[in-house]
Amino acid sequence: MPAPRLDSRAGRTYLAGIAQGVAVGLMIDSWLVVVYALCGSLVWNWVVRPLEEVDLEERFGAEYAEYARAVRCWMPRLTPFLPAREHPVTQRRSTGAAF
């Protein structure tokens, strides 16, 4: 069975989970829900994310390392991430095609 590949084209939610939690709290006029959503994001950032990143690096190696360098946590990109294997310039260089 081949090793799984990192799919960096998956849903681009950025900060949707936090924003939804805060929005629900504001809609129902509950500061407790807003605080809960913000605290949940801090727990995710300091506890869950580091463990998840170690697991992803073990499973996907250099492919994940490239992704992690290009896509920063909490910072949305204006352009989609293209791994080197899919980037048009890299493909032209590897095939020897002229520009």
Lookup: tokens for 91: 């493909």
pLDDT digits (tens, 9 = 90+) for 34-80: 999 999 989 988 998 899 999 999 999 998 899 888 888 887 778 87
53 vs 99: CA distance, rounded Å:
37
pLDDT digits (tens, 9 = 90+) for 12-22: 565 678 889 99
Helix pair angle (16-27, 31-43), 10° resolution: 160
pLDDT band for position 4 (50/70/90)? Answer: confident
